[in-house]
């Protein structure tokens, strides 16, 4: 797409005042557009960027577009489940959260085409919306192999395809794996024991 932008990384443990003034929830990401308006929530930002930089990356068919939006929202909830998974304190809590996430992945498995993307051959916004989850799961699996895609092979292939894209690899800071791993280590939970 080649959309021009300036980026500022935020230390969420030490949020600057100017950031709190433009981010209504104090969360990232937030986009400030040329007129000074702030847009927040990842899915909304993705849709906004797509709409002002054609071609729009949602399916053209209104039903398919709505279906994609619904599954994007569903994926957002999965990030919450994954947050609880990676912050589990005990093996039992980890197993419970893993089971919940697998149940969610099974629902997605039923929806996706044969690939390589969610809608088949065409990359769309729904693919980018699941990528943060896939990145986190990949890094967590490197810490402790918990075979998250054993029951959802289509989702596993989709995740592998997304993580192989250069645009995905360059979408985070270079030391993202180290930062992500450090955040797990700091929380002193179940996954952290596999880092020693």
pLDDT tens per residue, range 79-132: 999 999 999 999 999 999 999 999 999 999 999 988 899 999 989 999 999 999
Are 47 and 38 in contact, with CB atoms under 8 Å apart?
A: no
Q: Does domain 62-195 have CATH number 1.20.1050.10?
A: yes
Distance CA 35, CA 22 (A): 12
Asked whether the predicted pLDDT for residue 1 surpasses 60, the reply is no
133 - beta bridge partners? none
pLDDT in tens, 171-194: 898 999 999 999 999 888 999 999
Provide the percentage of residues in the chain whose pLDDT is more than 90.
71
Domains of the chain, by residue range, sit at 62-195
Q: How far is CA 186 from CA 89, 129, 156, 176, in A?
A: 12, 27, 28, 15
Three-class SS state of 96: helix
pTM of the model: 0.90
């Amino acid at each position: 797409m080649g959309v021009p932008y300036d980026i500022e990384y935020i230390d969420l443990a030490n949020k600057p005042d100017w950031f709190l003034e433009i981010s209504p929830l104090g969360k990232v990401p937030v986009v400030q557009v040329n007129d000074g308006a702030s847009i927040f929530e990842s899915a909304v930002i993705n849709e906004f960027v797509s709409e002002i930089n054609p071609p729009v990356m949602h399916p053209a068919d209104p039903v398919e577009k709505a279906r994609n939006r619904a599954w994007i929202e569903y994926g957002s909830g999965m990030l919450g489940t994954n947050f609880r998974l990676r912050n589990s304190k005990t093996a039992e809590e980890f197993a419970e959260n893993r089971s919940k996430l697998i149940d969610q992945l099974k629902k997605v498995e039923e929806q996706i085409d044969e690939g390589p993307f969610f809608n088949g051959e065409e990359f769309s916004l729904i693919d980018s919306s699941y990528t943060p989850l896939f990145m986190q799961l990949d890094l967590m699996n490197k810490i402790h192999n918990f075979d998250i895609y054993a029951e959802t092979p289509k989702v596993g292939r989709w995740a592998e395809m997304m993580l192989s894209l250069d645009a995905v690899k360059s979408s985070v800071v270079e030391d993202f794996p180290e930062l992500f791993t450090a955040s797990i280590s700091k929380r002193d939970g179940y996954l952290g024991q596999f880092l020693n």
